[in-house]
Each structure stands twice: as C-alpha cells, then as structure tokens.
Structure 1
Amino acid sequence: MKKNLFLLGFMACSLTMLGQTDKKESWYFKAGASYFGQTAATEFPTVGGNLPLNRTYVGGKLVSEESVTGSFGEGFRTGITAGYRFNTRLGVEMGVNYYSSADKTMAQTTTDQIFVSNGKPVYNFKSVGQITAFDLAPALVLFLGEHAGFESYSKVGVIVPIHGDLEITTDAIAPTGVASPATVAVHSVDKVKPNPTIGFMAALGTSYKLGKNISVFGELEYRNFTVHGKTKETIEFTQNGQNALAGRTQAQIHTNYQDRLDTNSNNAATNPNGLDSSKPMDELSSYVGISGLGLTLGLKYSL
C-alpha cells in the first residue's frame, strides 16, 4: 500500500513539474559541417565479377591474399536543419544533408606478370568506390538544460536517402589476347543506383550562445544503415585513353540486381540458353554499409 502511495505521489509530482515547465515554443535553424569516421567494417561485395580480395602474385604464384573490408561511413557531410521546440525540454528537427564518402578500395590484384590461372587471366587492376548522397534526417530532440550559456541536448531519428549512388572506378592493365599489343590500359566507371532504404541515427550535442539569437553548436553523432543495389550502369569505358563505350554490349553496360538467379535470369551461369548480350545482365544483389561516428560543428539561429 505504501509503495502504491509513493508511486502515485511520484507521478503527481512529475505531472506538476511538467505542468510548470516554462513554455518556450520557437523555431530555430542550423547549418553545419561534419566529418565521420567508419565504425564497423564489413566485407565488400563482388565488383565486376572480382571477389573483394587484395591479391599479390610473384612469378605466377600467389604470395599474399587478404579480404577487403570497410564501410562507406567515413567521409564529409554538410547540411541545414530546421527545428521546432514545443517547450524547454522537447523539440523536433528535420535535416537536409549532402554526404560524400572517402574513397574505398573494394578489390585489387597486383602481379609482376600476366598469366592464366584456372582458365582465367590474372592481371593488374584496382577498383575504388565512393558514395555520394542527399538525405533527410527527421529527429526527436530532448533538451537537457542550460548552464553558463551552454545548453546540452540529445536526439534520435532516422536517415532517409533521397538521391545518391555508389561510383566504382576501375583501372587495369589487361591482356588483349593477341601477341601485339599484349596488354591494354582499361579505365571504367560504374554507377550503382540503390533501392529505397532507411537508417538510424543518435546524437549528443551542446550549443553556446554568442548573442540573443545566435549560437554555435557541436554534435557527436552515430549513424548506421545499409545500401542495397538496384541497377548498375557503366558510364565511362576507355582503352589506352580512347573512348570504347560504344563497343560494349547492353549486358556489359547495364546490370539489374536480383535477390535470386534462376534459369529465366539473363546470366550465363544459370540460364541454359546463355547470356543475351542485347539485354541488361542479371546479377545477385549486394549490400554496402554506411556506419560512422562523426563530429558536427556549426551555427544556430533561433527566432
């Protein structure tokens, strides 16, 4: 009985405190820039039929091999945010951000000579990926109180990418299959478009008043989401510096990512009729991670 009375009293006090909370409805706007470091590294997907491996060959023999892992969570972000405070403690925000990740090596082979292994040529190449994206970031904000001009807060929300892609650049010294010239320098750029996705974010921050309406702020933010490929298109393809994209087939230029390949898929590995080069090729879908911890600094203007 005493326990129940205590709980009722505690609830009554809490409601009274909430009722006495000073009203502080207001709009505010923020502009800031961020740098994120990756927090979780996973194995990259297959790139152009090449496994996510870093391999080194000497004299036609494999001397080292390691998995290529990483996250596209490392990079720079700029953004603007509109916020509304319902009272001294609670508010909501909507951010619009542009993000550009650091370049990440996704697959690489280094060899001192070109040779054939298990029916496939082994040659020098390197594939590097980069993600750029615009996103919306709605969040719920809890203001923790003000002291000596500083006001701390926490927030949780979601990240909704609205536009962006993964660009994969591959440079190779590849065999031609004839005696002269024996090799050709190949440069290609592929753009992978994603399926719709959603991510999670959480942040701790503080602001410091410079004037009646102007403050500086800093936030430590964690975010995590994955990007699921939808299509891939080759937008650049050169050989020895000369544009050779027109000579590529539709299957070589365009890819549709699927969750499953079967006998009806346009893929030579599963279709008994082989690959129809006049149509986009079907490949298994792949995922890349964008997981990072970042610091944001900027200015805040309160109405």
Structure 2
Amino acid sequence: MNRIHLTQLAVLVLFFASTSLTRAQTAKPVKFYMKAAGGYFFSVSPGQFPDVGPYPPRDQRNAVNPATGETTVISEKVLTGSYGAGARGGLTFGYQLNPYLALEGTFNYFRSRENLMTRNITTIEGTTTVAGSVESRGYVNAVDFAPSLVISPGYDKLNPYVRFGMVVPLWGRLNIETDATRTSAVPGQPANVVAQTSIHRKEEVHPNPTIGFQGALGATYAISPRLDIFLEAEYRNVPVKSKNKEVTIYDERTTVINTTNGQVISQQSRGLGDLSTAERETRYVTILDQNSNTPIGSSGTETNYKNDDAPADELKSYINIGGLGANLGIRIRF
C-alpha cells in the first residue's frame, strides 16, 4: 500500500510540475512587435513661406496702365503657413524591454497638403482683363526614421503610454509648381497684335540633413493575446533648411496673335533643355555679395546671370514639416 501511495503521489507531483511549466511557458512575455499606422497632422507653427525665385510670398493684385506701362499695387497679403499639415503613414518595429519600457523604431512616409506660396495677378487699369499672372503652389514628400522610448504602466487590456524620441529625415523634397501667363505688345506691330505667353514649371528643393523631435500620448487596447489597436496624439518639430534646387519640368509657349480675327501669326517655345545652368540649378547660401551668381537682367522670359554656365545663388530658406496630429493603427506581437 505504501508503495502504491508513493507512486500515486509521484505521478501527481509530475502532473502539477508539468502543468506549471506549461503555464509558465504560455505566460512568457512577448518581446518583439510590429505596428502599422496612418494619421493626419495639422500645422501648429506657421511661418512665412520662402521666395519662389524672384517672387516673394505675397498674394498681390496690380493694375497696369497700357499707355505708359506704369504698374500700381491694388492689394497685397503676406502668405504664411507650414508644411507640417498632411497625411502620414508608418511602420514600426518594437522591442519590449520589460512590462513598463519599450524601444521603437518607425519608418514614416509623409505627404503635406498643397500650399499657395505666391500669387501675382495684373489687370489692365480700369478693367478686369488680366494682362499677366503668376501662381506657385508647393508640397512636401518625405521619408523619415523615428527612434523612440515608450513608457507605460503595463496594463493588460487598456494600456496608456507616452512616447518620445527623435526624427531623422532620410529623404525629402519640397516640390513647387508654377503657372504663369502674360499678354504683351509686339514691337513694330499694331495694338491689336499681341504676344501671349504661358509657362509651366516644376522645381524640387533638396534639404540639408537635420534632426527633429517627437512625442506622443496614446493607449493600446488588446483584442487578442497578440493583436492590439492603438490611438495616439503626436507632436513633431522638424525644421528643414534648403540645400539646392533644380528645375525638373519647364514648358514655355509664346503665340503672337491678331486679337481682331484670332489669326495666329507666329509661335515659339522653350523647354527644359533651353534653360541655362543658372536658370535650371540653384545653390542656397547664407550671404549674397558681389561675388554671388545673381541675375543681371532679362531678355523676354529668359533671365541672364553673371555666369549663365554656373548654378545661381539664392538665400537659404527654412520650412517646418512638423505638426500636431493623431495616429490610428494596429500592433502585432510575435
């Protein structure tokens, strides 16, 4: 009997030991996880936009006297804003150090909303007839990497957290698209013969390397042992300084037309390959002086520089692609 009891006891001990081991293995915390999220951000630190070539960030209305060519400013407004407003999507790789601390690295893609950077409309004095117009709009595409530290109380179901860290832009472009029109007199021709010019151009501003900062307040909600959803409010501050600029699209067409009968007298065009190096490429500098490659005049729509065969010099500009927004996503634990 004693042997039977001892055998039964040994079996029970082994059973409970194996059960406890199984539970311990099941309860082993998950270390690695991945998050996918999307969100929208709003501008919180608007500033004055940079110049677009010779055009300052103004929304301006002018009137021109066709007899004398004198131009009068009717109204003018400074254009301000930020490139921090827009949509963002991200993929995060995380590691749970303990129930309260985690390390994350996030790759984000950002597309800002389009901003009006300059607008200049000139009408013939005393009429609503447009003699010329220039309008430029810009938007930012960017990819960044954001390492961060996450702190939470470690709750199982609904777990609030704070997250903070850096933002390291990996790639980005400020894209500026400009459309311009102009109607002008043709030397040696009667007043009813005019030249109508239209220009469409796109330029890309390349940034200097920079580092920004980010912080978030959010919460995760467990749907299953390995799947959570999360919602967070995030703030980013990412100032960006321009490095250089390149015109990537240029289409100019000029038509000389008889406005009385609509007859086209002549046509000519300029493309990207017709631009000089100075018209096509720009270096951003902190100081302009007498040695800088700046414009010295123009011939029609063509701008002449001190050295047409070298990039032009312009003053550096600054934009901010940070903002305040919300992210919604899922977290998968492995």
- TM bin, normalised by shorter chain, reads 0.7 to 0.9
5+ residue gaps, structure 2: 1-26, 65-70, 126-130, 188-192, 255-268, 297-304
State the partner residue of 1:99.
110
Amino acid at match of 1:186: I
Cα distance in 2 for residues equivalent to 1:260 and 1:79: 38
Aligned-residue identity in percent = 36
State the partner residue of 1:244.
271
Question: Which of 115, 135, 151 is equivalent to 2:144?
Answer: 135
Task: Confirm or deny: 8 A CA contact 2:103 2:150 kept in the other structure.
Answer: yes
User: 1:72 Cα shift?
Assistant: 0.3
Cα distance in 2 for residues equivalent to 1:91 and 1:178: 71
- Are 2:134 and 1:125 aligned? yes
1:221-256 CA distance string (max 9 Å, x none):
000111111110001111239661121110000001
Cα distance in 1 for residues equivalent to 2:329 and 2:30: 22
User: 1:95 Cα shift?
Assistant: 0.1
Task: Confirm or deny: 8 A CA contact 1:78 1:99 kept in the other structure.
Answer: yes
Matches within 5 A, 1:149-160: 149-160=157-168
Cα distance in 2 for residues equivalent to 1:140 and 1:98: 20
Per the alignment, in what secondary structure is the counterpart of residue 246 of structure 1? Answer: helix
Matches within 5 A, 1:53-132: 53-58=58-63, 60-113=71-124, 123-132=132-141
Question: Which of 52, 57, 67 is equivalent to 1:52?
Answer: 57
Cα distance in 1 for residues equivalent to 2:136 and 2:284: 19
Amino acid at match of 1:248: L
Where in structure 1 do 4 or more consecutive aligned residues deviate above 6 Å?
Answer: none
Cα distance in 2 for residues equivalent to 1:176 and 1:230: 36
State the partner residue of 1:213.
226
Cα distance in 1 for residues equivalent to 2:295 and 2:166: 40
Query: What TM-score, normalized to structure 1?
Result: 0.83
The count of aligned residue pairs is 271
Cα distance in 1 for residues equivalent to 2:235 and 2:279: 38
State the partner residue of 1:7.
none
CA RMSD of aligned residues (A): 2.3
Per the alignment, in what secondary structure is the counterpart of residue 234 of structure 2? Answer: strand
Cα 1:218/1:262, change in 2 over 3 Å: same
5+ residue gaps, structure 1: 1-21, 115-121
State the partner residue of 2:261.
none
- Are 2:170 and 1:162 aligned? yes
Query: What TM-score, normalized to structure 2?
Result: 0.76
State the partner residue of 2:6.
none
User: 1:143 Cα shift?
Assistant: 1.1
Task: Confirm or deny: 8 A CA contact 2:30 2:333 kept in the other structure.
Answer: no
Cα distance in 2 for residues equivalent to 1:61 and 1:23: 77
Question: Which of 234, 253, 273 is equivalent to 2:280?
Answer: 253
